Structure 1
Amino acid sequence: MDYVFTVRRVSKGAFKDEPGSTYFLKVPEDADDISPDQKVGAAGAGMPDKWAKEVLAAARSGENPRTVQPKGDILIYVHGFNTPTTTMLKRHRLIRAGLEREGFEGVVVSFDWPSASSALNYLEDRSDAKQTARLLVDAGISAFAARQTPDCEINLHILAHSMGAYVVREAFDDADDRPAVASTSWSVSQILFVSGDVSASSMSDGNPKSSSLYRHCVRLTNYSNPFDAALSLSNIKRVGVSPRVGRIGLPVNRPDKAVNVDTGAYYERNEDRFRDIPNASHTWYFFDQNFYTDVFQTLRGDVDRNRISTRAGTRSELELHVA
C-alpha cells in the first residue's frame, strides 16, 4: 500500500491540475495512478485518525536500544513542477524501493500538489505551489507531530525534488508567520533537497526566506548537479531567475546544519547509464541506487555527514562517489 495526501481539485471523478481540498489516499500496489476513490475520510476534513494510525504503524521499525521505546521513520516526498500524478506515483515507488533495498524499514508518504504535465506551465505551477504549500505543514507535518506520543520515537523527514524545494521553503516560512501554527511544537529531522529549484542566495545564513526552514530541522542536505540542464539560466522559462541551489549548490555562508553534496563528477562519470532517462540531468537521482545509499545513511543519522560511505571530501567540499 502507498500513502499519499494530495491537494488537487477533483472534477468528474479525477484529480486535476488546480488547487483543491486535501485528500488522504491509500493507493493499492497494483494501481498506476491516484484516484478520489482511494480516499480515507472526508475531503478537506484534516488527517483522518485511521489513515494516520496506519502510517504510524508502518513507520515503526523496532526499538531504540538506548530508550527501549518504539522508533521509526516517515519520509515525505514532495515532487517538483511538470509532474502529473502518474509520474509522482512512479517516483514515490522508486524512492520506496530504493530505500528498502538499503534496509529502510520506515514508510514513504507523498505530498502531491497541483503540478501540470507541461514544462511550459512553469509559472502557473509556481503559483499553485505557493498557494498550496501551507497544507504540507497544516495537513501533514503538524498533524503527524500532534499524534506523536512520549513513548514512540517517530522521526519525520522530507525529500523535496525540483520545485518541491520551493514548496517546502514556503510552507515552513508561512507556518512561522501564523501564530496558531508557530505556537505549536513541530519540526522534522532531515530535509533533503534534490535538484532544488530555489535561489542559492536564499539559503544563506540569516536569510529571512529560509530561516524558518533551518529553525525547524535537524539537518538540511542539498544535492546539487552543475550539469542540471533544467535549472540552467539559459532555459527560456527561467529568464530573470537567480542561480538555483540544485545547480550551483549552497552558498558558503550557510548555517552549520546545512550540508552540500556535489553530484556533478558522479553524474558525468555515469552519464551513459542515464542516457535513456527523460530530463536525465535533473531526474537521474530517482534511478540511482548509490544515491539511495547516501539518502539512507543520511536518514539514519548514525554516521557523521563527512563519513557517509558515498561521500568524499570534507564539509565544505563533499562530493557523491561510489560507496
Structure 2
Amino acid sequence: MTLFFTRRTYNAAKKKFTNNPAALTRFVQITNGPDSRGRWSGGAISQSDWLREVKHEASSNEITIYVHGFNTDQIDMLRRLDKIKNGLRAQGNRGAVIGYDWPSDGKVFSYDQDRNRVKDTAHFLVSDGILPLLAMSPRPKINLIAHSMGAYVILRGFSNFDDAAGPGASAWRANEVAFLSGDVARNWLGKGAWGALLLSHRARRFTNYYSEGDRVLPISAFTDGFRKRVGRDGLPSITEKTHFDVNATPQYLRDVPPGKRSKARSHRWWFDSSTLYADIAQTFAGQAPGSLATRQDLGEDDLALIS
C-alpha cells in the first residue's frame, strides 16, 4: 500500500491526476501499482481514514514524509517514494513512509513556474500533513526527506506557521530533516540565516547530503544570481549546532560508473543507493553523526558517505 497527499487537480474524465494546482488537498491510498505503464488502483479517501491508514502502516511510532523536487510528475514521485520506502525498510526502519505531492509541472523548462507553485502550495505540507499527523495519539515522530526543490518546499512550508499552530502547548517540530541535492541557496543555511533558524526551531536535527558531482544544481544557481546550492557545495563553514553536512561525492563515484554519470543521473542517483538508505535509517534512529559505519571522517568535522 502507498499513501500520499496531493495538491494536484484530478481529471475525472481521464481518471488521473494532472500537473496543475488544485483548490483542495486530496488524501490518496494506492492498493496496487503503479505498474510499468504508470497505472495504479486506489483513490482519494477522507483525511480521517487516511490518517488511520498511515498509523496502521507504521510498525513503530515514526512517520517519514518524502517531498519531491522540480520536474517531477506524479508517477515519478510514486516510483521514488516506493524506492525510499523499500530502501528504509531493508535497513530496519519500521515507520510509515508517505509522500507530499506538490504540483510540479514535470517539465525541465518549467523551473521558474515550479518555484512559483512552491510558494503557493508549500504551506499545505504543514497544514494538511505535518500538523494533523502530530495531532495523532500517541504523537508520532515526523521525519522529512526532501530531494532538490523539495528542500525549498520545506523551508517555505515551515515559514508560514508560528508555534501556536501545532497541537498541544509546546512548539511543534519534526524529528529529523534530510536534504538530498537540496536546491536552496547555500547562504540561507549558515548560522543565523533564515533557513538555518527555521530548521533549528522546527526540527531536532538536520542533515544535508550533498554531492560535488551534481550537474543539475549549477543550472539552478545560474537562475538564482549564481548563488551556490547547498546540495552541491554543502553547508557554510559556520552552522547551527544541530546541523550536519555529509559529503556524498565518494559514494556517488562508487555507485555510478563513469559511463553512466549523465546530468540527470548525477542529480537522482540517491534513490538507488543502499548506502544512503543505511545512513538515513541510522540517522533517523538517533545515532550520533560521527558514529555511523556508513561515514568516514575526512578531518575538520567533514564527514563523507562511503561504503
Q: So what's the TM-score if we normalise by structure 2?
A: 0.90
Q: 3-state SS of the aligned residue for 1:260?
A: strand
* Residues 76 and 111 in structure 1, CA contact (< 8 A), matched pair in contact too: yes
CA distance in 1, matches of 2:196, 2:157: 10
CA distance in 2, matches of 1:172, 1:153: 19
What are structure 1's unaligned runs of at least 5 residues?
A: 42-47, 62-71
- In structure 2, the residue matched to 1:250 is 235
Which one of 26, 29, 32 corresponds to residue 32 of structure 2?
29
Q: How far does residue 36 in structure 1 lie from its aligned partner after superposition?
A: 10
CA distance in 2, matches of 1:155, 1:227: 33
Shift in CA distance, 181/189, structure 1 to aligned 2, threshold 3 Å: closer
* Residues 290 and 310 in structure 1, CA contact (< 8 A), matched pair in contact too: yes
Q: How far does residue 104 in structure 1 lie from its aligned partner after superposition?
A: 1.5
- In structure 1, the residue matched to 2:153 is 167
> Is 1:94 paired with 2:99?
no
State which drifts further: 6-15 or 187-196: 6-15
Q: 3-state SS of the aligned residue for 2:269?
A: helix
- Equivalence map 1:99-118=2 (5 Å): 99-118=88-107
> Is 1:311 paired with 2:295?
yes
Q: How far does residue 273 in structure 1 lie from its aligned partner after superposition?
A: 7.7
CA distance in 2, matches of 1:315, 1:144: 38
* Residues 224 and 263 in structure 1, CA contact (< 8 A), matched pair in contact too: yes
Shift in CA distance, 306/123, structure 1 to aligned 2, threshold 3 Å: same
* Residues 15 and 35 in structure 1, CA contact (< 8 A), matched pair in contact too: no
> Is 1:296 paired with 2:281?
yes
Shift in CA distance, 31/227, structure 1 to aligned 2, threshold 3 Å: closer
- What is the number of residues matched between the two proteins? 300
- In structure 1, the residue matched to 2:255 is 270
- In structure 2, the residue matched to 1:16 is 18
What are structure 2's unaligned runs of at least 5 residues?
A: none
Which one of 23, 29, 43 corresponds to residue 38 of structure 1?
43
Matched letter for residue 28 of structure 2: L
- In structure 1, the residue matched to 2:269 is 284
Shift in CA distance, 137/36, structure 1 to aligned 2, threshold 3 Å: farther
CA distance in 2, matches of 1:98, 1:50: 26
Q: How far does residue 51 in structure 1 lie from its aligned partner after superposition?
A: 1.3
Q: 3-state SS of the aligned residue for 2:45?
A: coil
Task: State the Cα deviation string for residues 121-152 of structure 1 (Å, max 9, x = none).
Answer: 100011101110000000000111112x3xx3
CA distance in 2, matches of 1:315, 1:158: 27
Query: Over aligned residues, Cα RMSD in angstroms?
Result: 2.3
Q: 3-state SS of the aligned residue for 1:222?
A: strand
